[in-house]
Structures are given as structure tokens and as C-alpha cells.
Amino acid sequence: MLAVVVCAWTRLSSARTGVALVYHQVGGKGGDARLEILAAVSGDSFRRQLRHLRRYYHVVPASELLDAVRSRRRGQRFPVAITFDDDLAGHAHDALPELQREGLTATFFLGGISLAGPHRFWWEDLQRAVDDRLIEPDAIPHVAEADVRAALERSPKAIFRVAAAIERLDRPQRADAADALRSAAGPPSADEGLRAANVQALIAGGAEVGFHTLRHDLLPALSDNELADALREGSDELAAVTGTRLEVISYPHGRADQRVADAARAAGFTYGFVTGRETVTADTNPLLIPRIPPALSPGRTALRLARAVASSGSP
């Protein structure tokens, strides 16, 4: 209720503001934000979040958000882009049907790693290995044993420390850690990831597809040459499936800096998305557009959105 009041009140403002949201997994019973690296938003919560967005905001594809922000007039709804990261089977099976039911569009940022066969990301292997106690505390190379032990003991947020440690490793070391996690968690099942047909179903269902890089490296940590490669590798293959040029990118782990933004522009991207807590304004750098993670509950997500637009200007 409060969120609705705040939203209605701030709509009187002429602020040229909008919000981008970044989802990962949605559907089912939902996850636990203390114990899961990317806890799923439950199917019920996602449905209610979409309903709220449809009623009170102007939902646009990520590629149109900045233009919508710049052309917003007093009294108009604030523009919002609904985005998803990673090549997750749930995008096609859970997210798309709900979006279609509400008549909303969204942008899916994909790497294309599972176009031809199943794939599971290292952090998904980590989650499984910890949840099902498939790994010993000392079994992940280059990661502190104490952190892995704490995660196995279900200490709140401990698994985030393990994931952050792996994220910071350089490529060869991260490959070591990923190998250990894969051995523990086992190979992906046949339905994991997004096949070419699933990606085409997203497009046919009215969604937009952007790039998220094939190997999901932390881009600011790469050398100039590695960065240029990461922004190109796999993009032609994904574009061949979507049948469109990939105009938008979201940076892996939501992280980019000015050098990454410049490289993305040089690689042909018009808009780039990070993860942050800020709103999008007319002055936002098109290659460094922040996206706010939704809360797991619909009420808290509504409030987070209302606060964001309210912070940008009052009537």
C-alpha cells in the first residue's frame, strides 16, 4: 500500500527517472537469501511483482529504457526494464509464461553457453555441492577451508564468501576450483541451460535477448586483449540464433568500469548494464546502466522500486 502511495505521489514529479530490475531464477517455491547465492523468486511472488509493474509502471525492453527515461513527462508512469541474467532453463519454462500472461516484455541476457547442450555454471555446482554436502571443506583449491566449512554448516551468507573468493581468482585458478566443484556436483542434467530452441521461444514470446558473455569472466579483471575477446566470443553464435544484432549487454557478476564500458562500445554494444542500487536518469552512462535486484517478496520489491523513484525527485 505504501509503495502504491509513494509511486502515485512521485508520478506528479517531472523527474526523468526509471529503474532496471535484474532477476535470475524465478518460479517454484522460491529460495533462501541467506543460504543461496542467487535465491529464486518464487513463482507466486514473481507473478505479483509483474502485476504490480504492469499496474504502476511503464515496462519497456532494456534497449528502450534510457530513451523512455529521457522522454518522460510529468504525470506519466516511470519506465522500468525487467531483465534476467544467465542461461537458465527457467527463463523459458517459468519466466516467459508469466510475462506473457501479464502482457509484459523483458530482456534476457545470455552467454549462449548451452545453445547446443546442457550446462551448469560453477556457482550452481557450488550451491549443489554445499546443499547436498557433496564436498569436503578442503576440496576447493584456492579457497579458504574455513569458509567452505562454514557454508557446509549452513552459516548464513557463508556460501557468498566462498563464491566471492572464486569470482576473484584468475582464470586458471578459477578453472581449478570449477573442476573440483564439477567433480563433486556431477555433470549437468539434460534439461539444464537454454538450448537454441528455448532462446528462439523467448524471442517469439516478445522478449529481447542481449549478451552476457560466453565464459562469464569478471570483466574488470581482464587484460585489454582478454576483454576484447570476452566481448566478442560467442556473440555471433547467439546472434545467429536470435536473428538480431546483439545491441545490449549485461556484464557478468554485474560489474564493469569505464574501461569495460569503452570496450563494450567498441565491440558494438549500444547499452551496457551493471548491478547497483541507483535509478536510471537522463544522465546515466548508456554503457553503465545500473540495475536493482528485486527482493524475494512482492511487497519489499514494490517498496524498493517506489523508494528508488521517490529518491530522484519530489513534486
Binding site for Zn ion (CB under 5 A): 85-86
Q: What cell was used for 226?
A: 582478454
- How many angstroms separate the CA atoms of 207 and 210, rounded? 10
- How many angstroms separate the CA atoms of 305 and 4, rounded? 10
Helix (H, G, I), strand (E, B) or coil at 61: coil
Please tell me what DSSP assigns to residue 189: P
- CB of 19 vs Zn ion, minimal distance in Å: 19
Residue 107 pairs in a beta bridge with 83, 208
- CB of 38 vs Zn ion, minimal distance in Å: 9
CB-nearer residue toward Zn ion: 42 or 213: 213
Whether residue 275 contacts residue 29, with contact meaning beta carbons closer than 8 Å, is answered with no
- CB of 184 vs Zn ion, minimal distance in Å: 21
CB-nearer residue toward Zn ion: 85 or 125: 85
- CB of 136 vs Zn ion, minimal distance in Å: 27
Residue 306 pairs in a beta bridge with none
The 10 Å Cβ neighbour count of residue 138 is 11
The 10 Å Cβ neighbour count of residue 74 is 10
Nearest to 20 by CA among 310, 298, 312, 276: 276
- CB of 83 vs Zn ion, minimal distance in Å: 11
- CB of 85 vs Zn ion, minimal distance in Å: 4
- CB of 242 vs Zn ion, minimal distance in Å: 18
Helix axes 196-204, 235-242, angle to 10 degrees: 50
Whether residue 198 contacts residue 184, with contact meaning beta carbons closer than 8 Å, is answered with no
The angle at the Cα of 110, spanning 25 to 300, to the nearest 5 degrees, equals 35
